[in-house]
Structure 1
């Protein structure tokens, strides 16, 4: 029988946001911060597989919903990157989390939590994420017979909500993400795929699931992530 996660919550901005949780018997635990936008959807199955593998290694894990995503009751267009940073910090404090594993754009939401130890998978700049979403929008518009450009969409995003890859993004979120850089943490471990030549502490064989057209998994990669996280946390 497949182990099912429990639902727990954290308080943020006078409301509850949900988390998936796998509780183990040991005191070791880690919070997973998901990628952003469509990458979050494509990689969610993989993240849950990582959590199951961590549980098998007797490590508890928590996967929070960011405000404006999944089961959150606030609209995404009302959310900023500053909100995501504050929400992740609130979740970490309320659940007594000292180790955080963040993935892709999710690394931008943990940049202010200097007191924690950070495991970062394939961190990216916010501008890179925004540029990819803009290009996706341009391709979608072209299929609908519309002609748009990066400059035009950027100008529109600076003055009002803009839909990118099915996400309605506010001018504040657009601006904050565009300026968000990869932050060096006091205590960090950077993990990348073997196909990625950028600097890292370790490389793991696996698939770039965020590039897939549909959500997918890679069980061997998920297990390798869990093993590396367990070794990083230690006893």
Structure 2
């Protein structure tokens, strides 16, 4: 998805991963529209294995995602990257780019949340599973988590993926988040909602912060 592609100021938005993307898609589109009103062009790529991709997710690795983001940025001559949550893990190798990062998350944190959801769903279905058992199964073959069939290579790479410390970065968090940040925004943790939702005021604030970060 691309908005105001001809603008002289442009940014690539890197989406959150898995079900967090589904919960935050409306917010990301709102951010793009707000950026357009501020004179900033933006585009939101689909990661391999997601949405209309012809590649099955179970065949995709984190390395594939990283290569895809690098290639996309190069094709569109983009030097400013705005990553959301685990999306920063896919942009970790772009050392010379300018990075705006919203509430970054480790790969293990994202997987643990999905594993816990799987354990709870199994319990409701009368099955007994544990985090350790599911992690072991994920290492041996594809595992369905929150509607996503994740292959062992992607699981292993994500589980080992820490938040990158990039040279040119601005980390932004919610005001309710006590972790270190370069800026804070009032808003809602949409990635924790049970259903997709939006927060127009937060989307507007995010767009304004990105526009200020890009500058003139």
TM range, smaller chain: over 0.9
Higher relative contact order (CA 8 A, sep 6+): 2
1:222 paired with 2:183, answer no
Cα deviation code 1:170-197 (max 9, x no counterpart): 0000000000001111100000000000
State the partner residue of 1:48: 29
What are the equivalent positions in structure 2 for 1:1-235 lying under 5 Å apart? 20-23=1-4, 26-235=7-216
Q: Alpha carbon RMSD of aligned pairs, Å? A: 0.7
Larger relative helix fraction: 2
Cα deviation code 1:78-98 (max 9, x no counterpart): 100000000000000000100
Q: What SS does structure 2 have at the residue aligned with 1:191?
A: strand
Larger relative strand fraction: 1
Q: What SS does structure 2 have at the residue aligned with 1:197?
A: coil
Shift of residue 23, structure 1, vs aligned partner: 1.4
Shift of residue 67, structure 1, vs aligned partner: 0.3
Q: What SS does structure 1 have at the residue aligned with 2:64?
A: helix
Structure 1 residues without counterparts, runs of 5 or longer: 1-19
Q: TM-score, normalised by structure 1?
A: 0.91
Q: What SS does structure 2 have at the residue aligned with 1:26?
A: coil
Q: What SS does structure 2 have at the residue aligned with 1:64?
A: coil
Hey, what's the Cα distance between the residues in 1 that align with 2:94 and 2:42? 18
Shift of residue 24, structure 1, vs aligned partner: 5.4
Structure 2 residues without counterparts, runs of 5 or longer: none
Structure 1 runs of 4+ with >3 Å offset? none
CA contact (8 A) 2:5 2:43 kept: no
Hey, what's the Cα distance between the residues in 2 that align with 1:56 and 1:73? 33
Hey, what's the Cα distance between the residues in 2 that align with 1:223 and 1:71? 28
State the partner residue of 1:15: none
Shift of residue 25, structure 1, vs aligned partner: 5.0
CA contact (8 A) 1:24 1:58 kept: no
Q: TM-score, normalised by structure 2?
A: 0.99
Hey, what's the Cα distance between the residues in 1 that align with 2:54 and 2:189? 30
**How many residues end up aligned between the 2 structures?**
216
